[in-house]
Amino acid sequence: LEFSQEVVKEGGYDKVIIQDGSYFHAEYGAGSKSAIVGMTPKYSPAEILRLTQLMTQEIHKYSPDSEIFLECNCSYSRKAAGDNYLGFGSYENFDKYNWKGATEIAAASPYVNWVTPIGKAFANARKNYGFGSSYNHLNYTDNYHPSREGAYLKACVNYLTLFGDDFPDNPTDCELDPSDAAKLRNAARDIVYGHREDFHFNE
């Protein structure tokens, strides 16, 4: 995107978080455009990898001392009509391919230093903290974009992965129900805190 290119060229960043297309990592993990059902994929797996490599090369060019964090996106049940998980059949299957693709892309992109395991934290929140339902609390009403709860969880995962420290005393709830915010912080903490090095790829 033109705006992203402008921001990259400003340079001087210490840490950079990049997010790919919502299904790109799952498509890459599955190895074929044909894995995606319900929409027409824009890029092939090879193109997805090439574009990530180009973006990270540009970031490194203008911010040579930066650490680059690649987000592993959360899965979702639908984009428009029909609960087909974009052809993956379930959250679990979508999550599996998202993680596979994100880690394979990171390993093949020498300037990616970390993967932020957002999808793993979403799965944990659904399974263990009561955020799974026919209307998924973690997504907006389209069951595609993150809700406020989902955005909060994503921010918690990024915080823990960026800094490696636990949340400070009295962290903000960002206007969520305090008990929900606490559960979401725990869902992120379970995955990342104390396990940060599991998500470290390239120096």
Per-residue pLDDT of 152-165, as tens digits, reads 999 999 999 999 99
Reduced to 3 states (helix: H, G, I; strand: E, B; else coil), residue 68 is strand
Least confident of 15-19, 48-52, 84-88, 158-162: 84-88
| Residue carrying the six token digits 């319900």 | 38
Least confident of 126-130, 132-136, 162-166: 132-136
Residue 39 class from Cβ within 10 Å (0-12 exposed, 13-18 middle, 19+ buried)? exposed
User: Band of the pLDDT at 203, cuts 50, 70, 90?
Assistant: confident
Residues of the chain with pLDDT > 90, as a percent, come to 85
Mean pLDDT of 109-130: 97
Mean pLDDT of 9-21: 96
Cα radius of gyration (the chain): 17
User: Band of the pLDDT at 1, cuts 50, 70, 90?
Assistant: confident
Q: Are strands 67-71 and 114-116 parallel, antiparallel or unpaired?
A: parallel
How high is the pLDDT of residue 81? 58
Instruction: Provide the mean pLDDT of the chain.
Output: 94
Mean pLDDT of 129-140: 82
Answer yes or no: is pLDDT of 61 > 90. yes
Structure tokens at 52: 């990530």
Answer yes or no: is pLDDT of 82 > 80. no
User: Band of the pLDDT at 80, cuts 50, 70, 90?
Assistant: low
How high is the pLDDT of residue 161? 97
Does the pTM surpass 0.85? The reply is yes
Q: Are strands 114-116 and 15-18 parallel, antiparallel or unpaired?
A: unpaired
How high is the pLDDT of residue 140? 87
Mean pLDDT of 178-200: 97
Residue 129 CB-half CA count within 13 A: 25
Reduced to 3 states (helix: H, G, I; strand: E, B; else coil), residue 76 is coil
Helix H or strand E encompassing 90: none
